[in-house]
Structure 1
Amino acid sequence: MTKAKIEKPRIGTDLPSATLLDIDDYEEALYHCILSNCDGEKENYDRTEFTEVVFKQVKFNGASFKNVELTDVVFENCDLSNVDFLEAIIHRVEFKDTKMVGVNFADATLRNVRFDDCLINLSSYNYSSPKQVMFDHCSLRNTDFYACKFNKVQFQQCDLNEVNFSQTPLKNVDLSNSTFERLIVSLDELDGCEISPQQAIAFATMLGLKVKE
């Protein structure tokens, strides 16, 4: 399968430093800046627009980002555990080495998004529409992709154990170099999905078939 090219965030050089308090000065928007070692735990950033922003080692545990717009944004070594991105619009965004346990992307629109070396266990992407999205070396244990509309979504060496793909067609999705013991998925959704021979045996077992050696 041809790998989809994912656009990188368009971020200029020499970004000025800012703090989360600067959002008030921009009328619920923040542009062209870098934030480092900030603490926004359990704060409300609903409907805020972030454009050309880099977050480094920022803690947003339990914060609310409902209906936000993220364009050309990078999160690096951040803590986004239990952050609520409900109905967010996310375009040309990278999440790097970031903790995202329990994050909620339900009903979100994701375009040209990369998750690199992230811990995303117990998260939810229910009813989202990811297009040109890459999960690279991520742990997605017990993550929920219920009723998603995948378009050029890629999983590269991820831990997918107990992931729920119910009502999400996996045609042209390559799972062959990721690992799992069990997935929640139906035969209809597997039509056109790419898997390894070893995974084929695991799927047969999940379906109640006995594979002779």
Structure 2
Amino acid sequence: MTKKYTLQQPKLPHELPEETFSISDDPFFKGITIKDCSITGEEMNRLAFDQVIFKNVLFEEVVFRDIELTDVIFTHCDLSNADFSGGIIHRVEFRESKMLGIDLSEATLGNVMFTTCHANLSSFRFARLKQVLFQECSMDASDFYECALKNIQFQQCHLNEATFANAPLNGIDLSTCKFERLNITINDLEGCIVSADQAIGFARLLGLRIKE
């Protein structure tokens, strides 16, 4: 049986004033809404966002390494190819957003929810994920190489050709997900929860011949 746990949701006031995004000498943003705009060609390390809502925002050629996100919501945003590597991401929700090729390698994620996001080719290499939910997301060819995964849920996600090499899946339930093939080492499958059909596919990885 999958262990149940409760995700902490972003802690936000009922109303947040709308402001225009611009990088200044103080790269700290708190208690605002940023919406209906494009953030293009910006590069800065250690930006911090606390209690911020991004709504319908296009991030284009953006490099925000070591970003800090606390109590933040992204809704209907385009974060494709954004570089958030090394980020610290806590109590954050990504809702109905495009995240093709987003770079979250070496990031630390806690109490994070991805809902109905297009995140094919996304990179979580060497990241640390604790209490993270992926719900109805497309994550084909995503990369979780050498991730530390604890209390992770994948619900009705597409994971074809996703990489979980050296990322133990003990206790993680993939039974509602769709994939034809995962890039994974057999040892890392120990304790992973799969459907009967998926189990047949993994048995073939072991060289077993399935008698119909």
TM-score band, normalised by shorter chain: over 0.9
Deviation at 1:206, TM superposition (A): 2.9
Deviation at 1:38, TM superposition (A): 1.3
1:20 is aligned to 21
Deviation at 1:186, TM superposition (A): 1.3
Q: 1:7 to 1:211 in 2, by over 3 A?
A: same
Q: Normalization by structure 1: what TM-score?
A: 0.96
Give runs of aligned pairs for residues 73-112 of structure 1, distance below 5 A.
73-112=72-111
Q: Which amino acid aligns with 1:6?
A: L
1:9 is aligned to 10
Deviation at 1:2, TM superposition (A): 2.4
Paired with 2:80 and 2:60, the residues of 1 have a C-alpha distance of: 5
Q: Secondary structure at the match of 2:197?
A: helix
| Structure 1 or 2: more strand by fraction | 2
Deviation at 1:210, TM superposition (A): 1.5
Paired with 1:133 and 1:79, the residues of 2 have a C-alpha distance of: 20
Which portions of structure 1, spanning 4 or more consecutive aligned residues, are displaced by more than 4 angstroms?
none
Q: Secondary structure at the match of 2:187?
A: helix
In 2, are the aligned partners of 1:182 and 1:206 still within 8 Å (CA)?
no
Deviation at 1:46, TM superposition (A): 2.1
Deviation at 1:24, TM superposition (A): 1.7
Paired with 1:143 and 1:120, the residues of 2 have a C-alpha distance of: 7
1:41 aligns with 2:40: yes
2:113 is aligned to 114
Paired with 2:3 and 2:169, the residues of 1 have a C-alpha distance of: 15
Residue-by-residue CA offset, 1:32-60 (whole Å, 9 max, x unaligned): 01011111022124211100000000000
Q: Percent identity?
A: 44
Q: Secondary structure at the match of 1:110?
A: strand
1:53 is aligned to 52
Q: Secondary structure at the match of 1:188?
A: helix
Paired with 1:180 and 1:61, the residues of 2 have a C-alpha distance of: 30
Deviation at 1:123, TM superposition (A): 1.0
- Structure 1 unaligned blocks of 5 or more: none
Q: Normalization by structure 2: what TM-score?
A: 0.97
2:186 is aligned to 187
In 2, are the aligned partners of 1:80 and 1:98 still within 8 Å (CA)?
yes
Q: Secondary structure at the match of 2:188?
A: helix
Paired with 1:129 and 1:38, the residues of 2 have a C-alpha distance of: 31
1:207 aligns with 2:179: no
Paired with 1:134 and 1:7, the residues of 2 have a C-alpha distance of: 11
Deviation at 1:5, TM superposition (A): 1.0
RMSD, matched Cα: 1.0
2:67 is aligned to 68
Q: Which amino acid aligns with 1:2?
A: K
Deviation at 1:197, TM superposition (A): 0.3
Q: 1:42 to 1:207 in 2, by over 3 A?
A: farther
Deviation at 1:209, TM superposition (A): 2.1
Paired with 1:145 and 1:83, the residues of 2 have a C-alpha distance of: 17
In 2, are the aligned partners of 1:34 and 1:53 still within 8 Å (CA)?
yes
